Amino acid sequence: MHDKGTVAVIGGCGHVGLPLAIVAATHGFETSIVDVNAAAVALVRSGEMPFVEEGADPLLKAALASGRLTATTDAAVVSKADIVVLVIGTPIDEHLTPRPSVILQALAQYRPHFRDGQVLVLRSTVYPGVSAKVQRFFEQEHLDVAVTFCPERIAQGHAIVELASLPQIVSAFSARGLAAAKAFFASFAKSVVVLEPLEAELAKLYSNTYRYVQFATANQFYTIATTYGADYHRIHAAMTHDYPRLAAMPRPGLAAGPCLFKDTMQLSAFSKDQFSLGLAAVWVNEGLPRFLVDQVAKRCELASATVGILGMAFKAETDDIRDSLSYKLKKLLQLEAQRTLCHDPFVRDASFTPLPELIRESDAIVLATPHRAYRDLAIPSDKIVIDVWGIHGSPRAGKQVMS
């Protein structure tokens, strides 16, 4: 069925690509996922999501059953698509330097399958200027592929809802590309906002970096208050109570995952490493696990203590452990504590400890991920609890402030 056109999503089994492919198929596009991860392709074909994504399971099954969604490792499907979405990972290297070459290498790999008249939607988060390089790549190959850059801004795990509810930023190097990108995203999104490609690249990096800096602010406030024995969660509740100017102020917590740190470093590299605010945020956010270890050490003899970590995923209600600071916390504890135990209700790992056993065995418990399952957990009062997110336990003092 060619209702609205054909779409191929390169990287379509990933956290960004798969929800987008499902949504495109649901809205009438004949959609092919192409991914190098054969195991993920097999899982998707069988109707199973490879990761936790709110609301995705029934839509995936329905899209497969409708025949509008297929998944393959065969790059040749790209040649059948009117719109090719490229949404592979864009990591930084071991020196925290961006690697824009991954995008150009992927394009070289798919070069035999591109043809005149197609539209490329670059959806990965890229180092500024990469879209222009992609445009030059097709010019040099004498291929009439209209290049667009349309960044993804979903909160991971909520893409199905947010693809429809968030405005989509689109940019392009030609009127044909812009018209096609606008039409594609307008078919399921709330609205479309147009920028120039460099502006759109910066808008994406600024969005993530701004969040990262906000989290760092919350984390630094938390460490200052805690160092002086004050309850930051009480302070936060009081500051934000009926005070609109601080309504969006985040709570403290381990700020991690595959995007925020990486994109802050991409912006730092683009600013010729003059991004002092971003680098300060890295220092604060990456330093929080050490601060939490020190909080445990202040209250017990670490060398003879068992410390339990609740939550290994980088964010609540997901199974995604990519760049999770829970693992940094674990490594730091393993240097000093007698034993370190880990638990996560979403992450499968044979080395983890069942929850009742972790609570029983631990002298101290660090709530590292604010999964709902931990909120009302009964933890005996003789255990030390480090609750950086302020989600657990004794009545939050903020309630007293507001009463």
Ligand X SMILES: NC(=O)c1ccc[n+]([C@@H]2O[C@H](COP(=O)([O-])OP(=O)(O)OC[C@H]3O[C@@H](n4cnc5c(N)ncnc54)[C@H](O)[C@@H]3O)[C@@H](O)[C@H]2O)c1
The smaller minimum CB distance to ligand X, of residues 87 and 282, is found at: 87
Does residue 37 belong to the site contacting ligand X (CB under 6 A)? yes
Site for ligand X in 192-251 (CB under 6 A): none
Min dist. Cβ of residue 228 to ligand X (A): 36
Residue range at the interface with ligand X (CB under 6 A); choices 28-36, 136-144, 176-184, 364-372: 28-36
Question: What residues are paired with 170 via a beta bridge?
Answer: 194
Residue that the structure tokens 């007698």 belong to: 338
User: Shortest Cβ contact with ligand X: which residue?
Assistant: 14
Q: What does DSSP assign to residue 154? A: P
Half-sphere exposure of 238 (CA within 13 A, CB side): 9
Rounded Cα gap, residues 26 and 275, in angstroms: 41
Site for ligand X in 335-354 (CB under 6 A): none
Site for ligand X in 137-166 (CB under 6 A): 152, 154, 156
Min dist. Cβ of residue 14 to ligand X (A): 2
Min dist. Cβ of residue 172 to ligand X (A): 19
Min dist. Cβ of residue 337 to ligand X (A): 32
Rounded Cα gap, residues 253 and 212, in angstroms: 11
Counting beta carbons within 10 angstroms of the beta carbon of residue 403, is it exposed (0 to 12), middle (13 to 18) or buried (19 or more)? Answer: exposed
Taking residue 79's Cβ as centre, other Cβ atoms within 10 Å add up to: 14
Min dist. Cβ of residue 39 to ligand X (A): 9
State the alpha helices, DSSP H only, in 241-361: 260-270, 276-299, 325-336, 355-361
Binding mask 99-118 for ligand X (x = CB under 6 A): -------x--x---------
Pick the binder of ligand X from 4, 22, 35, 302 (CB under 6 A): 35
The smaller minimum CB distance to ligand X, of residues 17 and 289, is found at: 17
Please give the order of strands across the beta sheet that includes 384-386.
339-343, 306-310, 364-367, 384-386
Taking residue 298's Cβ as centre, other Cβ atoms within 10 Å add up to: 11
Min dist. Cβ of residue 48 to ligand X (A): 14
Residue range at the interface with ligand X (CB under 6 A); choices 21-29, 32-40, 279-287, 374-382: 32-40
Residue range at the interface with ligand X (CB under 6 A); choices 20-28, 83-91, 223-231, 243-251: 83-91
Pick the binder of ligand X from 34, 145, 195, 391 (CB under 6 A): 34
Site for ligand X in 40-79 (CB under 6 A): 40
Min dist. Cβ of residue 213 to ligand X (A): 17
The smaller minimum CB distance to ligand X, of residues 25 and 296, is found at: 25
Output the 3-class SS for 160-219.
HHHHHHCCEEEEECCHHHHHHHHHHHHCCCCCEEECCHHHHHHHHHHHHHHHHHHHHHHH
Please state whether 34 falls in left (phi above 0), alpha (psi between -120 and 50) or beta. beta
Question: What residues are paired with 225 via a beta bridge?
Answer: none
Determine the size of the site formed for ligand X (CB under 6 A). 25
Binding mask 3-22 for ligand X (x = CB under 6 A): -------xx-xxxxx-----
Min dist. Cβ of residue 16 to ligand X (A): 4
Pick the binder of ligand X from 258, 289, 311, 398 (CB under 6 A): 258
Q: What does DSSP assign to residue 396? A: P
Q: Identify residue 348 by its one-letter amino acid code.
A: R
SS3 content of the chain, % helix, strand, coil (to 5): 45, 15, 40
**For binding to ligand X (CB under 6 A), which residues are involved?**
10-11, 13-17, 34-37, 40, 87-90, 106, 109, 124-125, 152, 154, 156, 258-259
